């Protein structure tokens, strides 16, 4: 017997289960699905698209409400309010009703005291919130609508091994591979809390592997999330001993009534 904590041993792989929520019961179902996932030691991810009407600015502190009014683009304001609403319903304790304020970690990563770790990402009308009892946790979701020519970004944004993988791929695979590279890299940086840096070339996300286990810049497993949508690419970086990830999705709906 070594006395090793088996819960901290990196797993060979991480299984992903995808659930679908209805508009009428979104917050109820998401809250309970998150509680169940966390109780099992899993990571929970809520992914929403085109449901800005479900944001609730009554949950914002006065300073956050004022901040939301300063966004020039309505989409940015909607994403800000909806992100706060998602954290309220899936990260905070069930039954919480008062507004709340984030605190910031050493590198500016937001957290809630005495609550599960979480990470937010948004792009266009898509937004995602990943929740885990095991920090680090980071998620990135991208529509790449303003990407331009990805080849212009290769020298500054990719590791030599990543450039080699992209260059050796079939021509039709190169752009999707770059998108996977970018979302993986951002998810890693969000997990570590440092955000985008000027040293992206030093991080190798191992594009030749489906679920790479990394030791630098932190001990992390990286997963490409199966959203099955050509509009968006998403990646999750999390503690390597987490055995499974539960993803709940709800696309834009014609009935935009506020869920319970």
Distance of CA 167 to the CA centre of its chain: 28
The answer to whether residue 207 scores a pLDDT higher than 90 is: yes
The two tokens of residue 98 are 């008062």
Contact indicator for 187, 236 with CB cutoff of 8 Å: yes
Q: What confidence tens digit (pLDDT) does each residue in 12-58 have?
A: 578 999 999 999 999 999 999 999 999 999 999 999 999 989 999 99
Predicted TM-score (pTM) of this structure: 0.91
**What's the pLDDT score for residue 5?**
47
**What's the pLDDT score for residue 34?**
97
- List, in order of start, the domains of the chain with CATH numbers: 14-250 (3.90.470.20)
**What's the pLDDT score for residue 109?**
81
Q: What confidence tens digit (pLDDT) does each residue in 216-249 have?
A: 888 999 999 998 777 899 999 999 999 999 999 9
| Residues 64, 171: Cα–Cα separation, whole Å | 45
| Numbers of helices and strands, H then E, in the chain | 6, 11
Q: What confidence tens digit (pLDDT) does each residue in 127-178 have?
A: 999 999 988 999 999 999 999 999 999 999 999 999 999 999 999 999 999 9
Q: Where are the alpha helices (DSSP H) in the chain?
A: 26-39, 62-69, 74-90, 154-157, 160-168, 171-192
Contact indicator for 28, 229 with CB cutoff of 8 Å: no
Paired residues of 119 in beta bridges: 130
């Amino acid at each position: 017997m070594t006395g090793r904590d088996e819960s901290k041993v990196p797993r060979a792989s991480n299984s992903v289960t995808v659930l679908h929520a209805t508009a009428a019961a979104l917050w109820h179902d998401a809250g309970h699905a998150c509680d169940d996932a966390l109780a099992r030691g899993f990571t929970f991810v809520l992914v929403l698209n085109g449901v800005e009407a479900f944001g609730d600015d009554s949950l914002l502190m006065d300073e956050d409400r004022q901040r939301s009014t300063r966004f020039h683009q309505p989409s940015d304001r909607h994403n800000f309010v909806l992100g706060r609403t998602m954290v309220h319903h899936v990260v905070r304790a069930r039954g919480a009703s008062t507004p709340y304020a984030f605190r910031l970690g050493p590198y500016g990563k937001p957290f809630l005291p005495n609550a599960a770790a979480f990470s937010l990402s948004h792009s266009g009308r898509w937004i995602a919130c990943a929740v885990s009892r095991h920090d680090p946790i980071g998620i990135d979701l991208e529509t790449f609508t303003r990407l331009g020519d990805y080849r212009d970004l290769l020298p500054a944004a990719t590791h030599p091994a990543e450039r080699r993988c992209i260059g050796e791929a079939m021509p039709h695979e190169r752009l999707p591979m770059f998108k996977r590279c970018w979302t993986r890299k951002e998810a890693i940086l969000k997990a570590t809390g440092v955000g985008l840096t000027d040293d992206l070339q030093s991080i190798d996300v191992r594009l030749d592997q489906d679920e790479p286990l990394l030791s630098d810049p932190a001990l992390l497993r990286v997963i490409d999330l199966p959203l099955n949508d050509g509009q968006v690419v998403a990646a999750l970086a999390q503690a390597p001993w987490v055995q499974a990830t539960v993803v709940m999705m709800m696309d834009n709906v014609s009935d935009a009534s506020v869920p319970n």
